[in-house]
Chains A and B, each alone.
Chain A
């Protein structure tokens, strides 16, 4: 079975530009998570969805960040406008909700904002 799919794998953009990251969860999983990882802050949960509904977005750093999950097989994380401090690796993960919440991560998108 295919794992979590993310695109693009690498993104280089200039400050002020809009960035859209995409994620396709594992088929059958109904929870989806967006994370950001940096050396300084480690792995941080930004937002997660359960059955396409955002449950907790308290980790979203500010209004420049937004996430959507229009259906069970697709989610986007958008940054507008982007800033150099947004440079990080962004991971998407999915799980089958329930007691276990074992998450499976995608390969990540390395974002560089110049």
Chain B
């Protein structure tokens, strides 16, 4: 069973702090990893992609991938109220040519 697991939250973080979102996946054949942000009533929006072990930074966002431990995380520095949304982790299993989304973590930034 190929699964992508996320804590559903809500995760409450004070404004200005670092928000840490985690995702684990079960299939070792996974090679491409994505983080999407979804505001209530809107469509998912791609914010980060990562393909190799280590960190990838883009502005206030850092994605971290550890294939040996089968987890991927997203850090949001200097959290803003506008970061309040649901964050979806997605994993593309190249071997099966299939993408699997986690159910998402609701993030709430406290002003």
Contact = CB atoms under 8 A, between A and B. Distances in A.
B51 A99 contact: yes
Interface string B84-111: 0000100010000111111110000000
B101 A43 contact: yes
Interface string A48-67: 00000001101000000000
Given A91-B44, A105-B43, A100 B32 contact: yes
A21 to B, nearest CB: 14
Interface of B is mostly: strand
Given A42-B103, A100-B49, A101-B32, A55 B44 contact: no
A45 B97 CA distance: 12
Nearest to B6: A42
Contacts of A99: 32, 51
A45 B99 contact: yes
Contacts of A44: 101
B42 to A, nearest CB: 8
A104 interface: yes
